């Protein structure tokens, strides 16, 4: 299982700092984007991200009502993969087509209460399935362990996408997540909350050995 820094902020200066810190220990970072509608919080914009030059692969996690509006701006900002929510107001198949047409990888995220059965028909068309293991939109929310059962069920399927999990991932639950068959563990406050993110990353990686 790979640990992926999850960056959630509404401040461009903090975005720049967190990406720079991440460059010291990984090659992929997830940027959380919020519109103040799908979730109450707001975050940085594609314009803020476009100002930053980085060698990292950028994955954009869209917690927004209308994902299609964000695709081209984030493509221009350097995104390689877009993950949008099944619970958004748009048809998932249409959003996937638009992401592919822009030459990016596509993923679907589902909230804790959404059954996997709702998105299984899209597995052949997506690169990644992201399980939200918290109620989305707030930094440091409480982990919901039952989501691991859903990840475990998808892991048993033959032609499954990459499995990712995001929300409340920390040292005390990282092995539970790995054992559920998760490929990418997206960690926010567990890396950036306290102390040095690089040291926090090393501590988590050590637990996975």
In this structure, are residues 188 and 6 in contact, taking their beta carbons and an 8 Å threshold?
Answer: yes
* DSSP states along the chain: -EEEEEE--S-HHHHHHHHHHHTTT-SEEEEEEEBSSSSS-B---HHHHHT---SSEEEEEEESS-THHHHHHHHHTTEEEEEEETTSSS-HHHHHHHHHHTT-EEEEEE-TTS-GGGTGGGGGG-SEEEEE-S-TTSTTPPP-TTHHHHHHHHHTSTT--EEEEESS--TTTHHHHHHTT-SEEEESHHHHSSS-HHHHHHHHHHHT-
Of 35, 166, 183, 203, the active-site residue reads 166
Of 13, 32, 94, 159, the active-site residue reads 32
**What residue spans define the domains of the chain?**
2-207
What region does 136 belong to: left with phi over 0, alpha with psi -120 to 50, or beta?
Answer: beta
Domain 2-207 has CATH 1.10.8.60: no
Is 91 designated active site? no
Long-range contacts of 135-138 (CB under 8 A, 24+ apart): 135/111, 136/38, 136/39, 136/63, 136/85, 136/111, 136/167, 137/34, 137/38, 137/39, 137/40, 137/41, 137/63, 138/39, 138/41
pTM for the whole structure: 0.96
In this structure, are residues 17 and 192 in contact, taking their beta carbons and an 8 Å threshold?
Answer: no
**Local confidence pLDDT in tens for the 209 residues of the chain:** 999 999 999 999 999 999 999 999 999 999 999 999 999 889 999 999 999 999 999 999 999 999 999 999 999 999 999 999 999 999 999 999 999 999 999 999 999 999 999 999 999 999 999 999 998 766 667 899 999 999 999 999 989 999 999 999 999 999 999 999 999 999 999 999 999 999 999 999 999 98
Is 32 designated active site? yes
């Amino acid at each position: 299982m790979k640990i992926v820094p999850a960056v959630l902020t509404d401040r461009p200066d903090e975005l720049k700092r967190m990406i720079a810190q991440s460059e010291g220990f990984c090659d992929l970072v997830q940027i959380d984007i919020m519109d103040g509608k799908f979730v109450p919080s707001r975050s940085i914009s594609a314009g803020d991200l476009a100002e930053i030059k980085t060698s990292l692969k950028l994955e954009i996690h869209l917690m927004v009502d209308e994902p299609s509006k964000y695709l081209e701006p984030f493509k221009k900002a350097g995104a390689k993969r877009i993950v949008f929510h099944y619970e958004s107001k748009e048809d998932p198949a249409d959003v996937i087509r638009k992401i592919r047409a822009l030459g990016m990888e596509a993923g679907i995220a589902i909230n804790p209460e959404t059954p996997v059965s709702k998105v299984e028909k899209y597995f052949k068309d997506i690169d990644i399935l992201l399980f939200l293991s918290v109620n989305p939109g707030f930094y440091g929310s409480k982990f919901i362990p039952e989501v691991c059962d859903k990840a475990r069920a998808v892991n048993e399927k033959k032609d499954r996408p990459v499995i990712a999990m995001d929300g409340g991932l920390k040292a005390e639950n990282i092995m539970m997540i790995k054992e559920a068959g998760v490929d990418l563990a997206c960690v926010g406050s567990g890396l950036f909350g306290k102390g040095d993110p690089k040291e926090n990353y090393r501590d988590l990686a050590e637990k996975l050995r």
